[in-house]
Amino acid sequence: MKENRRDFIIKSTALAALSVAGLSGCSESRSKENEKRAGLKSVGATSQVEWPVTFGEGMPKLCVLADRDASLAEMRKLKQLGVDYVLVNGPKMPWTEKGLREIMDRFKPEGLTVINMMIGGFPNTVYGREGRDEEIKLLQDSIRAAGVAGLPVIEYNFYAHRLMEGYYEVKARGGAGTTAFDYERGKDAPHDPALGTPQTAESLWNNLTYLVKAIIPVAEKAGVRMAMHPNDPPIPVSHGHAQILATFNDWKRLLAIVDSPANGMTYDCGVVRELGEDPIEVLRYMGARDRINHMHYRNVTVEKPYVKYQEVFFDEGQVNLFAVMQEVFQQGYQFGLYPEHPRELDYDREHTGGTVMQPGGIKYPGGGGYAAQAYNVAYAKAMMQAVVSANGTGAKV
């Protein structure tokens, strides 16, 4: 264990050096522009915006996860939460313009716009195996199709393996479920031969670099932004495989591979805190470089960064979600903001079909459903309206 971690630290620390030069280019004008656009200044006690507050250009877009084949009833179920945007798991590659339009157009009549589709299914690329060029070709074609279809963001991730064994439920207030994580529970988990050769950080970085260099120019040309979700749980090793997107330095290194807003990330304020980093600092770093292409909004209480933490209710925990929301507007961030990981409430335990599945159909221990999601989305929306109102920026489109 110790060795693994040290290994992990050595690499990430040393690599920070590489990112310094690569990123400074685009930031100055960007942050000034953002300040101008957001026009942020305090204007007294009463808000000067028209109610109900809506969110226009240059503002985050509150969204929730939908099934891409959602029925009309399911779409309305989400619409009731007060969102105008959804993210969906994309179809199997290769995506086609027609296929994407069919998905996106189905949501339109219900007042929902697909702002992000997740793409997956490129294991050979992750493992650097034979067949990766074919996968990358599929990815490139899919990104082009997204550009033509008008899908602004594609989210992806890069794990050789994800350590689900570390998650367990901790009962919190009133018996509600929270999702705790302890690396100790899974750090010695054996390697699974079915998943291929254990990946070192070095090999994964090589593979990731190969991928990013191949797809970002395509995305840039297609007018599509790529959002890399960080490794979560952000641990050094899972079943013998290194995790290379699990520190702030890792993220900086990813962003430096190709200097383009198309090469962005999912900013997850929960994961940031799991690393023991400051959510505002990381948000400013990425925002100033225009690299936040999707966002996850949630809270967490960390006992030991990278190792032991608990995903808690939005209204508790160590992330100042209001400060994050203020900064998000300050940055002029304008893509999806997804309040995620609802806690498990009795209402959802008692009502079938209540569970909100995460991408890939994962049900986290202590993770909840629609009732808890209603609470989270309303909380996030209130904060968005509060920021707009306090700033008096006039939110009408």
Partner 1 sequence: MKDNRRDFIKKSASLAAALSVGGVTTAFSQTQAANKAPASAKAFARDGGMKFAFAMSPDSPRVPYAKQIDVMHAVSGVKRIEGLKPWDPEAIKATKEAWEKEGMKWTVVEGPPSLGEQTKLALSGRDEEISNFITFMKNLKQYGGVDVICYNWMPVISWARTTMDRPGRGGALVTSFDNEDIKNKPLTKYGEVSKDAMWKNLEYFLKAVVPEAEKIGMNLSLHPDDPQVHSIQGISRIMNSVENFDRMLKIMPSKYSGLTMCQGNFSLMGADIPALIRRWGKAGKINFVHFRNVQDLSGKIPSTKFTETFHDEGQIDMYASMKAYYDIGFKGTIRPDHVPTMYGEENTRPGYMTLGTLYAIGYMRGLAESIAKAGAKA
Binding residues for partner 1 restricted to 139-178, rule: CB under 8 A: 173-176
Q: Binding to partner 1 by residue 84, rule CB under 8 A?
A: no
Q: What single DSSP character describes residue 357?
A: P
**Number of chain residues interacting with partner 1 (CB under 8 A):** 78
Selected range binding partner 1 among 8-16, 184-192, 198-206, 217-225, rule: CB under 8 A: 8-16
User: 378: which residues sit within 8 A by CB, 6+ positions away?
Assistant: 81, 82
Distances (CA, A) of 129 to 158, 216, 320, 337: 14, 20, 42, 34
On whether the CB atoms of residues 116 and 335 are closer than 8 A, the answer is yes
Binding map of partner 1 across residues 329-348, x = CB under 8 A, - = no contact: --------------x-xxx-
Q: How far is the CB of 135 from partner 1 (least distance, A)?
A: 34
Candidate list 37, 58, 79, 357; residue touching partner 1; CB under 8 A: 79
Q: How far is the CB of 80 from partner 1 (least distance, A)?
A: 4
Q: What single DSSP character describes residue 298?
A: -
- Residue 27 CA to residue 289 CA, distance in Å, equals 5
- Residue 381 CA to residue 178 CA, distance in Å, equals 22
Q: How far is the CB of 143 from partner 1 (least distance, A)?
A: 29
Q: Binding to partner 1 by residue 71, rule CB under 8 A?
A: no
77/101 with CB nearer partner 1: 77
Q: Binding to partner 1 by residue 387, rule CB under 8 A?
A: yes
Q: How far is the CB of 250 from partner 1 (least distance, A)?
A: 13
On whether the CB atoms of residues 335 and 115 are closer than 8 A, the answer is yes
Q: Binding to partner 1 by residue 77, rule CB under 8 A?
A: yes
Selected range binding partner 1 among 160-168, 205-213, 223-231, 298-306, rule: CB under 8 A: 298-306
Selected range binding partner 1 among 134-142, 193-201, 228-236, 381-389, rule: CB under 8 A: 381-389
On whether the CB atoms of residues 60 and 384 are closer than 8 A, the answer is yes
Q: How far is the CB of 49 from partner 1 (least distance, A)?
A: 8
Which residue carries 């945007």 as its tokens? Answer: 85
- Residue 261 CA to residue 258 CA, distance in Å, equals 9
Selected range binding partner 1 among 5-13, 142-150, 157-165, 214-222, rule: CB under 8 A: 5-13
Selected range binding partner 1 among 97-105, 143-151, 201-209, 377-385, rule: CB under 8 A: 377-385
Selected range binding partner 1 among 69-77, 127-135, 186-194, 230-238, rule: CB under 8 A: 69-77
Selected range binding partner 1 among 162-170, 192-200, 225-233, 273-281, rule: CB under 8 A: 273-281
Coil, strand or helix: which one is 259?
A: coil
Q: Binding to partner 1 by residue 126, rule CB under 8 A?
A: no
Q: Binding to partner 1 by residue 390, rule CB under 8 A?
A: yes
In the region spanning residues 23 to 62, those forming contacts with partner 1, defined by CB under 8 A, are 23-24, 27-28, 31, 45-47, 51-53
95/297 with CB nearer partner 1: 297
Q: Binding to partner 1 by residue 372, rule CB under 8 A?
A: yes
Candidate list 125, 140, 238, 385; residue touching partner 1; CB under 8 A: 385
Handedness of CA 102, 108, 112, 116 (dihedral sign): positive
- Cα dihedral value 22, 25, 28, 30, nearest 10: -100
User: 359: which residues sit within 8 A by CB, 6+ positions away?
Assistant: 65, 89, 118
Neighbours of 328 (CB within 10 A): 25
SS (H, E, C) 162-215: CCHHHEEEEECHHHCEEEEEEHHHCCCCCCCHHHCCCCCHHHHHHHHHHHHHHH
293/373 with CB nearer partner 1: 373
- Residue 286 CA to residue 269 CA, distance in Å, equals 12
Q: Binding to partner 1 by residue 14, rule CB under 8 A?
A: yes
Candidate list 71, 322, 360, 362; residue touching partner 1; CB under 8 A: 322
- Residue 380 CA to residue 376 CA, distance in Å, equals 6
